[in-house]
A and B are shown apart, each in its own frame.
Chain A
Amino acid sequence: MGYVKAFLIYLSLLLIGLLFITPIVFMISGSLTPDAGVFAQAGGWDALWSAGVSLDNYRDVFARVDFMGYLFNSLFINGMIVGVGLLVNSLAGYAFARLQWYGRNLLFKLVLAVLIIPLEAIAVPLFYMVSLFGWRDTYWVQILPFIANAFSIYLFYTFFIGMPREMEEAARIDGAGVLRTFYCIIVPNAKPVFASVAVLTFLTQWGAFLWPLMVTSGEDVRPLPLAIATFYSLPPLQWGDIFAFGVMMVTPILVLFLLFQPWFVRGVVTSGIKG
């Protein structure tokens, strides 16, 4: 009975896994197939394997757009959002979890309230504001609004509140101030939550489309999602190129995820994050 149950569980997991991996396989296979082949195979199972391996689509991508430029923009913008965000949000989470200061609880409730406001709701006033500051068409306009993140603060808060307080108190008594306690004692013991927040922020921001579309017009500061959009709007519509672009765009996320996977999983478990 035990074996049958295990078999059924594994079978269902396998099927779900296949369901998730199919579009990715389809994308990779399509990126290696000449355009004519992509259309010919579309709609059938043979779309899952390439008709003939060719790197033409990848060459086309590089010929049609400045892929490396867009990639740099995306990496720079996301790197800054993740890097500076980790610093700012972890410090905020720590201040909410551990430090005693006037108005802390009220401010924390406000931060939690911000969690439910989607970007789309504030995009237009935010757009007016950054226009007023003359920030349009810059990297900063794509970075600054996303550094402080209520969800990240909340994740850090829940992790820090669960850490043994005595460890910090010991550090304080041993002679460390608040900041030193934070980066000598707290940060090294909070790698899982840092990894989780980094990966989650990167995942969310990597595909950002609406905000960059609103605030940028020049190719020199635009990220990858806006570049892929040009493939839809500029004829001829070549699916092979779009697939190749997609593969190249998804690769950094996969690398990042695989790199941080052990910590990420631990972080998700310990922070009590749910999908």
Chain B
Amino acid sequence: MASVEYRHISKVYTDDTRALEDLNLQVEDGEMMVLVGPSGCGKSTALRLLAGLDPVTEGQVLIDGKPVNESPPQHRDIAMVFQNYALYPHMTVRDNLEFPLRMMKLSRMERTKQVEETAYLLGLSELLQRRPKELSGGQCQRVAMGRALVRKPKVFLMDEPLSNLDAKLRIQIRAEIAALQKRLGVTTLYVTHDQVEAMTLGDRIAVLNGGRLQQVGRPQELYDKPDNTFVASFLGNPGMNIFSARLNSEAAIVDLADGGWQIPLESLLAQKPQMKQYLDRPLMAGLRPEAFSTQITPSAEVVVEAVEPLGHERLVYFTPSDTMSGSGQETLVARLTGLPRERVGESFRVGLDPTRLCFFNKEGEVIA
């Protein structure tokens, strides 16, 4: 096991694509760090730089405090699971698992022992004589994990390992990965674009966008206190609602969504005194869909655009009603429980929990 550090890492590809920009990130020993972000955000690049598959343009990658920029992949003592599994098609499952051990020049006896242990751990014992083309997606995934685990690497890298599986299997393997990582305690970097995977798997999450690190922290921390509007709207399904806000000093109210909801300015400033400097300046507010409710105040009249029933709850998409028409607000979404009453095209009253509001400046950075 080992710690990993990205120190001022930048990566520019030969076609001048800037994939990463001054990435600083520390992964603790035994930690599961999930790199998450939309396509092209640089998360896979970060993983490839750590694996040694691509050279670093600037900065240093350290494993256990030692710079590894110049070490080839085979000397870094890492293992990687690829999105498409990258199993060796001409080898049986046993040979696939044994390959890294052969490269380590272990004796036949040791190899057999370790392969069988790993196969047992992952439930592959019955499949050792099969070739990858005779396996299902889930089984291929397990073999790929086994090949990575078999030689007990210092660091375990996973590049979107679940994206080729169907939804049900994805949930099952996700739980297996989490349990395995906890049991073995291997430092793991896990790349995904799926924020649900990130939230459920990561000890900590690093959110990337456009090659820049947006925020690092524990999943709940990122969910509740996003550093910027990108993290706010990226995490969560659906993401955080972002709408306009104004601290109106004259009327002593906080005006949300252009006259939609109003809360007393005093109560906000009591809670968040640092907001004082933003009086009468345009701001953005953010609120999670579950912070809306039909039972609480302040409430406002809104028009239902769409309803998505999810069984135990429903997502209600709405826009400001007549009182706020012309405000140019985007559609907001509320996660509501209880008996469904909303009908598309009709208006209803929805309230929000002011304690869960986040405020962002016009650059999208969090204020409070």
Contacts and interface: CB of A to CB of B under 8 A. Distances in A.
Contact of B80 (A167, A170, A175): A170
B123 interface: no
A174 B100 contact: yes
Contacts of A173: 51-53, 73-74, 78-80
Given A166-B84, A170-B80, A172-B72, A188 B90 contact: yes
Given A171-B99, A172-B53, A173-B78, A166 B90 contact: no
B345 interface: no
Contacts of A166: 82-84, 86
B147 interface: yes
Nearest to A191: B90
Give the contact-size bracket for chain A: 10 to 19
A180 B105 CA distance: 13
Contacts of B40: none
Contacts of B73: 169, 172-173
Interface string A160-185: 00001011011111111100100011
A172 B99 CA distance: 11
A188 B96 CA distance: 14
Contact of B82 (A169, A180, A188): A169
A176 B103 contact: yes
A189 interface: yes
B74 A175 contact: yes
Nearest to B84: A166
Contacts of A189: 88-90
B99 A174 contact: yes
Given A174-B99, A176-B74, A169 B89 contact: no
Contacts of A169: 51, 53, 73, 80, 82, 86
A175 B82 contact: no
B135 interface: no
Interface string A5-41: 0000000000000000000000000000000000000
Interface string A172-215: 11111100100011001100000000000000000000000000
Interface of A: 164, 166-167, 169-177, 180, 184-185, 188-189
6 contacts: A164-B86, A170-B82, A170-B87, A172-B53, A174-B74, A180-B103
Interface of B: 51-53, 72-74, 78-80, 82-84, 86-90, 99-100, 103-104, 147, 151
